[in-house]
Structure 1
Amino acid sequence: MPTERLTFTGHDGSTLAARLDLPDGPHLATALFAHCFTCSKDIPAARRIAARLAGAGIAVLRFDFTGLGHSEGEFANTSFSSNVDDLVLAAKALAERNMAPSLLIGHSLGGAAVLGAAGGIDSVKGVVTIGAPYDPGHVTHNFGDALDKIAAEGAAEVMLGGRPIRIGQGFVEDVKAETLTGKIATLHRALLILHAPRDATVGIENAGEIFSAAKHPKSFVTLDNADHLITDPDDAEYAAEVIAAWATRYLDLKPPAPPPGAPEGIVCVSEADPDGFLQDINSGPDHHVLADEPLAYGGSNRGMSPYGFLSAGLGACTSMTIRMYARRKGWPLDHVQVAVSHDKVHAQDAESGGGQAQADTFKRVINLTGDLNDEQRQKLLEIADKCPVHRTLEQSSTIITEAV
């Protein structure tokens, strides 16, 4: 996944730091990600979700709000309203690159911020909140006894996430005064709400209130046992997959025309886990699957192996070819099942150095169900050998490799 560092000017003139995660394949849409309160663009959940969406063809801009992470400015002088302003300016920066965002994603208070900002960004068609509060003032519950000191002195340090953060009275007053009810009711965009029932920081009732205030189209998906910061990689991956699948319904994710000689388009494979073997596989905007290796070979077993996909292609093509022939002939074929196995051992081929010297053998067991006579069954088995993938595997193929 290519990542570009960039900057843009925030609400008070400060330079804000951002990362633009780009797809390896066709760029189908752009999302703008707002991180959680006092977090940063580099929080693990944001990185993982951005990587997954980039694998699905959606570029993601994530940035540090004013005074946080690598961005300039004083956080103590910011407010909820200034966060909304920063989001609108981030969208403007994307639009100047001809990448106006069609999707807003906000985590925690960032979720409330995207609800507040959506009305000011014309290009947005969908909004996603993750663990977002219905009332932005909810965040002041984390300030504890410091609220009195903030009121008396105008600002004070508050321990958040194990580190001191200076909070100003302006932020407290602004966030307490903010109400999202009207903005949610007049969102006029598709809304996806992701929330964990066991979220101890922002209770699940917040998701219910956001959902009740919103007009259709709206969706709610539970994140089950996830914590507020989505620290478990599996939870972050699940959230990203839900967002990507949901977005296909509301965003224009049409890929560019395929090159000549590739009528089915391009299959794009992107590394999802540099420490393992997990891969994102995308075929156009509609089909996304994972490839991996078994645990025994250093993988996480979260998808089929490469040879598994090769076997699946043979099995699927065999079944389709048989069905097409039987349908054309009007034969009573009720069901086709094809079991395929391959005799090589996954990742050991490359390591052994003997991959080219070993013969590939695919064993294909075909089960035909229906009131077929012996002659029909034999003919269908012969037709199986004529499936295009079978013919490709029998012949030597030409692989053209280009470096970019």
Structure 2
Amino acid sequence: MPTEKITIATEAGHALEGSIELPTGLVRGAALFAHCFTCTKQSKAAVSVARALANEGIACLRFDFTGLGGSEGDFGRAGFATDVTDLVAAAETLLDRFAQPILLVGHSLGGAAVLAAANDLGSEKVAAIATIGAPSDVPHVLQRIDGDIEAIRKEGEGEVTIGGRDFALSRDFLEKVENIDLLEEVGRLKRPLLFLHSPTDDVVGIENASALFGAAKHPKSFVSLEGADHLLLDQADAQFAASVIAAWATRYIPMREDWPMPDQGVVIKTGHGKFGTEVHTKTHRFVADEPKSYGGDDSGPTPYDLLNAALGTCTAMTMKMYADKKGWPLEGVTVQVTHERNHRDECDHVEAMEEGRQMQALNRRIELHGDALDEGQRRKIVEIADKCPVHRTLEGDLHVHTRS
């Protein structure tokens, strides 16, 4: 799906780097993802969740906190309070653009940050909140720091290692991490909450999820990420968490009432990316696109895929309906349809055609399933395929009328 690079201005005067994963089709809402401690917006969890939400029509912004990734500022002096301020700035950017309450999603310390930021934003701006492996005690992150914390308290600054990376931390950083009662913040929230946590998380123990869940008010939900590590390094774990959040979020970011659902025919709306297009019928909606080799995002079938599908599905339905009416033992049908652009080159017997006119063909391969069918029944069912309505339309005198 399309990815848009953006810059977020902060009150501190530096810029944060972000990426918005946009739905290929229309946008039903927006979400903000906060990455884990010292990670970046490129973490597996961040990318997987953002793209899963985009697949559900929810644009998702993932960004780098102050001093991390592509963002400006000094990480070593930032601390948790700055993370919360960053989140509020990013959220306001989404709110200005999409003009409706947003979903907040946070991983690890990012989860704690979205829980704290939600109260600063106000419940009217937040649709729902989901966390992955979040600590219930923010100072918990200090346990992951390899360095002399007490020396930093005394001297005002010192070198540390976090996750294999070297940082210079200040006393301010420590104080901003310690001066937060997250459970109190959670108890004040009045929005739907989803907590995802692995029972085998050896970085942020499962007891943190229990504490957060106990402090939260309903509606609240918990999902166990059984077997997953804290960072969701296994792509399958990241994808599972992403799919759960995306499915849960659609309850709180419902389909927009102004989306077209025509009484007849279909309505086509251009979306995002080079070819992203959304198809609306009376009761369904789906995305059409082009493959990446043509410059698309490959997020849906191509127009010719849909043409092939129209003939193939109508063929299968017609044959099954006929066999059912006759009471014949047809167990199933497989139809493969391919499109051939230069069919004229394959047909020596074709009469001369108008200059410049191209002859095309749809090639259909039919396989009938059912060992109890006799040869006569098989032959008749295949003959019926040519009588399907779409087949007749395509081979009939078809005109396309356009008005604007």
* Counterpart position of 2:59: 59
Counterpart-to-counterpart distance in 2, 1:228 and 1:216 = 26
Given that 2:312 and 2:336 are in contact with CA atoms closer than 8 Å, whether structure 1 keeps it comes out as: no
- TM-score under structure 1 normalisation? 0.72
1:245-278 CA distance string (max 9 Å, x none): 111111123375348797455599999xxxxxxx
- Where structure 1 has 5 or more consecutive residues not aligned to the other structure, the ranges are 272-279, 294-302, 368-378, 400-404
Moved more, 76-85 or 256-265: 256-265
Question: Does 2:169 correspond to 1:167?
Answer: yes
Cα 1:286–1:160 shift into 2, 3 Å = farther
**Distance in 1 (alpha carbons) for counterparts of 2:360 and 2:312:** 25
Task: Give yes or no for contact 1:26–1:255 (8 Å, CA) kept in 2.
Answer: no
Alignment of 1:2-401 (within 5 A): 2-121=2-121, 122-254=124-256, 256-258=258-260, 263=265, 338-342=332-336, 360-363=363-366, 365=368
Aligned length: 370
Q: CA separation of 1:143/1:308 partners in 2, compared to 1, >3 Å: closer, same or farther?
A: same
8 A Cα contact 2:127 2:191, kept in partner: yes
Could you give the per-residue CA deviations for residues 17-41 of structure 1, whole angstroms, max 9, x where no partner exists? 2222222210111111111111122
Measured in 2, the distance between the counterparts of 1:361 and 1:100 equals 47
Structure-2 change in CA distance of 1:259 and 1:191 (3 Å): closer
Q: Tell me, yes or no, if the aligned pair for 1:55 and 1:270 is still in contact at 8 Å.
A: no
Moved more, 15-24 or 27-36: 15-24
Please state whether the residue corresponding to 1:363 is helix, strand or coil: strand
Residue 7 of structure 2 aligns with an amino acid whose one-letter code is T
Deviations 1:323-381 (A, max 9, x none): 99999xxx9x9x9963324387x9xx99xxx99988633435477xxxxxxxxxxx999
Distance 1:281 1:235 in 2: 30
CA contact (8 A) 1:321 1:383 kept: yes
User: Hey, what's the Cα distance between the residues in 1 that align with 2:312 and 2:144?
Assistant: 56
| Change over 3 Å in CA distance of 1:239–1:304 after alignment to 2 | farther
Q: Give, in whole Å, the separation in 2 of the partners of 1:55 and 1:165.
A: 37
Q: What is the CA-CA distance between 1:115 and the residue it aligns to?
A: 0.6
8 Å contact from structure 1 (residues 257, 265) kept in 2? no
In structure 2, the residue corresponding to 1:81 is in which secondary structure? helix
Report the Cα distance in structure 2 between the residues aligned to 1:396 and 1:157, rounded to whole angstroms: 79
- Cα 1:228–1:283, aligned 2, differ >3 Å: closer, same or farther? farther
On the 8 A contact 2:20/2:62 being kept in 1, the answer is yes
CA contact (8 A) 1:194 1:239 kept: yes
Note the C-alpha offset of 1:6.
Answer: 2.1
Aligned residue identity for 2:334: V
Check whether the contact 2:21–2:61 (CA below 8 A) recurs between aligned residues: yes
Deviations 1:170-225 (A, max 9, x none): 22233233122222223211112222222221122222222222222222222233
**Aligned AA for 2:333?**
A
Deviates more, 1:303-312 or 1:2-11: 303-312
CA distance in 2 between partners of 1:287 and 1:227 (Å): 36
What code does the residue aligned with 2:31 have? A
2:376 corresponds to: none
Q: Which runs of 5+ in 2 are unaligned?
A: 292-299, 347-358, 371-379
1: CA distance, partners of 2:82 / 2:104: 17
2:128 & 2:15 partners in 1: Cα distance?
A: 27
Distance in 2 of aligned mates of 1:33 and 1:179: 22
| Partner Cα distance (1:398, 1:224) in 2 | 57
Which secondary structure state, in structure 1, belongs to the residue aligned with residue 175 of structure 2? helix
Q: Tell me the CA shift for residue 154 of structure 1.
A: 1.8
> Contact between 2:95 and 2:102, CA under 8 Å: does it hold in 1?
no
Retained in 1: the 8 A contact 2:49–2:246?
no
Contact 2:49–2:238 (CA under 8 A) maintained in structure 1 = yes
> TM-score by structure 2 length?
0.72
Q: Give the secondary structure class of the aligned counterpart of 1:231.
A: coil
CA pair 262-231 structure 1, distance change in 2 beyond 3 A: farther
* Cα separation, 1, equivalents of 2:278 and 2:194: 22
The CA deviation string for residues 139-164 of structure 1, in whole angstroms up to 9 with x for no partner, is: 11112442122222222222122211
| 1:97-136 superposed Cα distances (whole Å, 9 cap, x missing partner) | 3445510011110000101111232321111101111111
**Secondary structure, counterpart of 1:79 in structure 2:** helix
Give how far 1:78 is off: 1.3
Which structure: larger Rg? 2
Q: What per-residue deviation string (whole Å, max 9, x for no partner) do you get for residues 72-91 of structure 1? A: 22112212122112211211
